[in-house]
Amino acid sequence: MTLSVTNTLTGEREDFEPQRDDDVLLYVCGLTVSDDAHLGHARLWMHADIMHRWLDHEGYTVHHVENFTDVNEKIAARIDEDDLGDDESDVAEHFIGDVIRDMRGLNLKRAEVYPRVTEHIPEIIDLIETLIDRGHAYESNGSVYFDVSTYDDYGKLSNQKVEELEAQGEESERSEKRNPTDFALWKAGPVTPETAAEHRNPDLEPLTDPCGQTWESPWGEGRPGWHIECSAMSMTHLDETIDIHVGGRDLVFPHHENEIAQSEAATGQQFANYWLHVGLLQTDGDKMSSSLGNFFYVDDALSEFGPDVIRTFYLSTAYGSEQTYSEETIAEAEERWERLERAYESAVEACDSPDARTKVEAEGLRETLDSFRETFTVAMNDDFNVREAMAELLGLASAVNRHLEDADEYDYRALHEAIELFEEFGGDVFGLSFGDGAEGGDVTIANDLVQLILDVREQEREAGNYERADDLRDDLDALGVEVEDSADGATFRFE
């Protein structure tokens, strides 16, 4: 069965056909790093990860690019807050480190590259100049705006008409624009104290001076607009036309609509062939959001539940549907994961026991095994329907348990095959921790253990035991942990 997906661009279910037979160009709209990630952000990551894993399983080479937005008024508004740093780049760097920690803790496959806006200013400027040259953008008081009226297909993703749209951007921009719906590609100057105040914690001292990073451009010193960055980065690292663009449903308008307009106006090519949008995570009847304060940080959730429970929670609902987080839904996920884990471990134990026999045939288990690969594949090819695929995996667990409960002697061949299916589909495809099939292990614990060793090392240095401190650093290096000392203390990374 061919993979079919629901394409937001057409509103239709379509067979997936990449531009190149065996390669898939996948772009995921990443996080604006103005805060730690919460479970709403992680829902997008997890479903993008499952898409990546399933395409891998089906034999494609996946070129996965996921950006970090490290230039934004929300980031600048957190300057001098707690220990986040005294400039925008410090704040962004702090949260990028936390996001990477959370991604690894959730056992996400690594993207091919994680580009940052600050690394792509030349490409952004080049793209804006192309749009000006082609009559789709104009300069005004040192800022540059995309002229929506010059792009006939504007609104095709969100199914809106230009004349019915409300004005875009900050109110201070309105007087500079030809049309209220035009959007900023380049913003003159730094972030003003007034703009920063809109996003700053009111309990903190306000910022009194302009802030944020700026760059020289043909239109003067300034900063890139929000939407232009994804077009520039996807074209730089993938192509002018990509196969799949993934993002949260709340980004359809204006972000993704504007991406399409500026990209296609610049290149004359379709920007993305398939737009897949992940439904929002709800809690207490509202979407989980930092601004609403109804969120659960990923790091806290990993500490409380572990990656397998969190992944099992997300796997209960198809990516395109809304999902609700509550004590009840996370408890259900815990119960499902425990069922899967117990069935796998019981199968391993039985398979390795003297009661596992060559000529015993468990009819019911073998019937489940005969159909499992096909039914799981049908579910995943049905628009990555993880809900149905998870039901098949739970069915496999039930079949294993029934055999082990009913038999005095075990069907070795069937149990061996069941173990391999758990590891292939539960481990490789779903990213759960079944045997050697899981990639990540508990990265959170590994990080904590390394930090504990570094704390001991620092105590040794303070006590003047420098040779012992050096030995600890050498021991970490031998284990593949690179330690860097600075005035702010020791940091580390896994090589």
Digit-coded pLDDT (tens) for 216-269:
999 999 999 999 999 999 999 999 999 999 999 999 999 999 999 999 999 999
Token pair recorded at residue 73 = 């008024």
pLDDT at 438: 42
Percent over 90 (pLDDT), the chain: 77
Is pLDDT above 50 for 339?
yes
DSSP string, 310-333: HHHHHTTS-TTS-EE--HHHHHHH
Among all chains, which residue has been given the structure tokens 């077009």? 231
* Cα angle, residue 75 at apex, residues 73 and 81 outer, rounded to 5°: 120
More confident residue, 406 or 479: 406
* Cα angle, residue 39 at apex, residues 35 and 42 outer, rounded to 5°: 90
Is pLDDT above 80 for 322?
yes
Say which amino acid occupies 291.
S
Rounded Cα distance, 395 and 183, in Å: 51
Is pLDDT above 60 for 444?
no
Is pLDDT above 90 for 471?
no
> 142-200: per-residue pLDDT in tens?
999 999 999 999 999 999 988 888 777 777 777 899 999 999 999 999 999 999 999 99
Cβ neighbour number for residue 476 with a 10 Å cutoff:
18
For the segment 464-478, the average pLDDT, to the nearest whole number, is 82
Question: What is the band of 28 on the pLDDT scale with cuts at 50, 70, 90?
Answer: very high
User: Which of 210-224, 314-328, 353-367, 444-458 is predicted with the least confidence, judged by mean pLDDT?
Assistant: 444-458
| CA neighbours closer than 13 Å in the CB half-sphere of residue 397 | 22
Beta bridge partners of 450: none
256, 335, 394 from 376: Cα distances, Å: 32, 21, 11
pLDDT at 441: 42
User: Which of 20-24, 348-352, 425-429, 460-464 is predicted with the least confidence, judged by mean pLDDT?
Assistant: 460-464
* Cα angle, residue 343 at apex, residues 445 and 432 outer, rounded to 5°: 40
Is pLDDT above 70 for 440?
no
Say which amino acid occupies 384.
F
Cβ neighbour number for residue 423 with a 10 Å cutoff:
17
Give the closest residue to 163 by CA, choosing from 148, 178, 173: 148
More confident residue, 495 or 374: 374
Say which amino acid occupies 218.
P
For the segment 342-351, the average pLDDT, to the nearest whole number, is 95
Contact 136, 147 (CB under 8 A): yes
Contact 289, 39 (CB under 8 A): no
For the segment 38-61, the average pLDDT, to the nearest whole number, is 97
Rounded Cα distance, 488 and 321, in Å: 45
pLDDT at 439: 43
Rounded Cα distance, 109 and 440, in Å: 9
Q: Mean pLDDT for the chain?
A: 91
